[in-house]
């Protein structure tokens, strides 16, 4: 590095490394690539006309609010709308506990800056969302990894760690259709987890971008709602929501529902980060949603993604069912499934071979804060169409079988 900047990089920033998602998305931008790597919504379902109409209304009916600086907390009518959207799920809080963020990625950043000191302990699921690890990487926490299974976080294992004296700053959990595994924390475990949070005064960061994308049954009750049910107020849980998976990720509109004692500090933090989330995006989101777009649109997403999930599972069954030691999750919703490869295969070299066959995925190591997960991979099923999914899994299966034959 040039001498001007040598020794001037802050300690946290000096150790940063690019995320696997980022490097992969570059490769996967090649047009002939079938990519199961990203976490992108299906663009063919973007509600373009509704958003275009909302943008027009925003600029005709509310041009000054749309173009001027706005409050750090977010656009008032959008906060009210999100409050109502949350109340539907049992997360009943006043609008002043709902803060608009620049996507839920910013929520993760804010939570990290508010609650983590360098070297502090943070409990995460193993594997966990790599974007959270990336948000916090300059703070360099230590991680307490809690295993999960097909019912979500192993609450017994967490309890054992707490009983043994572990005192993390908080537990981070993607509660529905987890990224990367696709598993959902079971209702009974949710109740136990809130009881544990009470008993051990354990804060929980509940990240819930996929909860509306259920393909069977109904919406799972968020941890935040159970916390309110038990205590009469939101006490232990910070809930992160986003419009990215429901309307458009390009709008970068997410939100935090925070316990009252954290609200002022979160607002002060955000003021230093970007003053406020884009007014245009917020006002357009408000106009798009206030006449029921979320309610109309999520069933379309569910129908399309359910089909794609089914096609991917069927293709895996056909291609890989006979491979000894290979397993994959069967998610009830969301955008991802998780593959455990035969122990002798490593996902990273496999990716090189897969890319040569024009199919891509994310190797599992990226989702493990302390290494591990070398024989796992994440597959996205929301972005490719059924023909691409069938063909991509056929190619991927071929690469796996060829590697095993060596």
How far apart, in whole angstroms, are the C-alpha atoms of residue 400 and residue 391?
A: 14
Q: Between 41 and 222, whose beta carbon lies closer to its own copies?
A: 41
Q: Between 13 and 405, whose beta carbon lies closer to its own copies?
A: 13
Q: Between 16 and 356, whose beta carbon lies closer to its own copies?
A: 16
Q: How far is the CB of 316 from its own copies (least distance, A)?
A: 26
Token pair for 13: 């920033």
Peptide bond into 127 cis (omega under 30): yes
Q: Which residues pair with 363 in a beta bridge?
A: 377
Q: What is the DSSP letter of 47?
A: -
CA distances from 123 to 64, 132, 203, 251, 339 (A): 44, 12, 10, 30, 23
Q: How far is the CB of 389 from its own copies (least distance, A)?
A: 19
Q: How far is the CB of 369 from its own copies (least distance, A)?
A: 14
Q: Between 103 and 180, whose beta carbon lies closer to its own copies?
A: 103
Token pair for 248: 């458009």
Q: How far is the CB of 205 from its own copies (least distance, A)?
A: 12
Q: How far is the CB of 160 from its own copies (least distance, A)?
A: 22
Q: How far is the CB of 178 from its own copies (least distance, A)?
A: 19
Q: Between 250 and 349, whose beta carbon lies closer to its own copies?
A: 250
CA distances from 274 to 244, 277, 316, 374 (A): 19, 7, 44, 37
Q: Between 166 and 323, whose beta carbon lies closer to its own copies?
A: 166
Q: How far is the CB of 58 from its own copies (least distance, A)?
A: 8
The DSSP-derived string for 381-393 is -SSS-HHHHHHHH
Phi, psi of 173 (to 5 degrees): -145, 130
Q: Which residues pair with 171 in a beta bridge?
A: 123, 204
Q: Which of 169, 164, 166, 161 lies closest to 120 in space, CA to CA?
A: 169
Q: Which of 402, 364, 102 lies closest to 253 in space, CA to CA?
A: 102
Q: How far is the CB of 83 from its own copies (least distance, A)?
A: 20
How far apart, in whole angstroms, are the C-alpha atoms of residue 19 and residue 15?
A: 12
Please list, in sequence order, all residues whose beta carbon lies within 8 angstroms of the beta carbon of residue 280, skipping any fewer than 6 positions away: 55, 58, 66, 67
Q: Between 91 and 148, whose beta carbon lies closer to its own copies?
A: 91
Residue pair 255/118 in contact (Cβ under 8 Å)? The answer is no
The DSSP-derived string for 169-192 is S-EEEE-SS-TTT-----HHHHHH
Q: How far is the CB of 108 from its own copies (least distance, A)?
A: 8
Q: Between 3 and 218, whose beta carbon lies closer to its own copies?
A: 3
How far apart, in whole angstroms, are the C-alpha atoms of residue 177 and residue 222?
A: 12
Q: Between 112 and 397, whose beta carbon lies closer to its own copies?
A: 112
């Amino acid at each position: 590095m040039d001498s001007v900047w040598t020794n001037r990089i802050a300690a946290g920033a000096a150790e940063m490394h690019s995320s696997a998602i980022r490097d992969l998305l570059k490769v996967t931008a090649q047009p002939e690539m079938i990519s199961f790597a990203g976490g992108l919504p299906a663009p063919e379902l973007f509600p373009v006309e509704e958003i275009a109409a909302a943008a027009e209304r925003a600029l005709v009916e509310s041009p000054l609010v749309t173009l001027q600086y706005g409050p750090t907390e977010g656009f008032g009518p959008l906060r009210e709308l999100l409050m109502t959207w949350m109340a539907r799920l049992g997360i009943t809080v006043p609008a002043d506990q709902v803060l608009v963020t620049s996507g839920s990625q910013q929520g993760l950043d804010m939570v990290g800056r508010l609650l983590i000191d360098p070297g502090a302990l943070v409990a995460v699921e193993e594997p966990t969302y790599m974007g959270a690890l990336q948000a916090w990487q300059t703070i360099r926490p230590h991680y307490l990894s809690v295993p999960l299974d097909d019912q979500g976080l192993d609450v017994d294992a967490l309890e054992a760690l707490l009983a043994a004296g572990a005192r993390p700053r908080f537990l981070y959990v993607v509660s529905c259709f987890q990224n990367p595994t696709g598993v959902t924390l079971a209702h009974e475990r949710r109740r136990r987890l809130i009881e544990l949070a009470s008993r051990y005064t354990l804060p929980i960061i509940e990240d819930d971008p996929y909860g509306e994308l259920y393909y069977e049954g109904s919406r799972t009750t968020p941890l935040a709602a159970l916390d309110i049910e038990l205590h009469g107020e939101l006490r232990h849980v910070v809930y992160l929501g986003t419009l990215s998976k429901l309307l458009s990720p390009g709008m970068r509109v997410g939100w935090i529902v925070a316990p009252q004692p954290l609200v002022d500090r979160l607002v002060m933090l955000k003021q230093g980060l970007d003053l406020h989330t884009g007014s245009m995006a917020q006002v357009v989101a408000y106009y798009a949603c206030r006449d029921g777009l979320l309610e109309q649109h999520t069933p379309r997403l569910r129908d399309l993604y359910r089909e794609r999930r089914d096609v991917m599972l069927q293709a895996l069954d056909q291609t890989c069912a006979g491979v000894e030691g290979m397993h994959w999750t069967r998610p009830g919703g969301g955008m991802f499934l998780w593959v455990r490869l035969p122990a002798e295969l490593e996902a990273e070299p496999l990716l090189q071979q897969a890319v040569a066959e024009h199919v891509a995925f994310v190797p599992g190591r990226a989702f493990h804060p302390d290494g591990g997960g070398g024989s796992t991979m994440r597959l996205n099923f929301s972005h490719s169409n059924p023909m691409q999914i069938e063909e991509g899994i056929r190619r991927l299966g071929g690469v796996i079988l060829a590697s095993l034959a060596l």
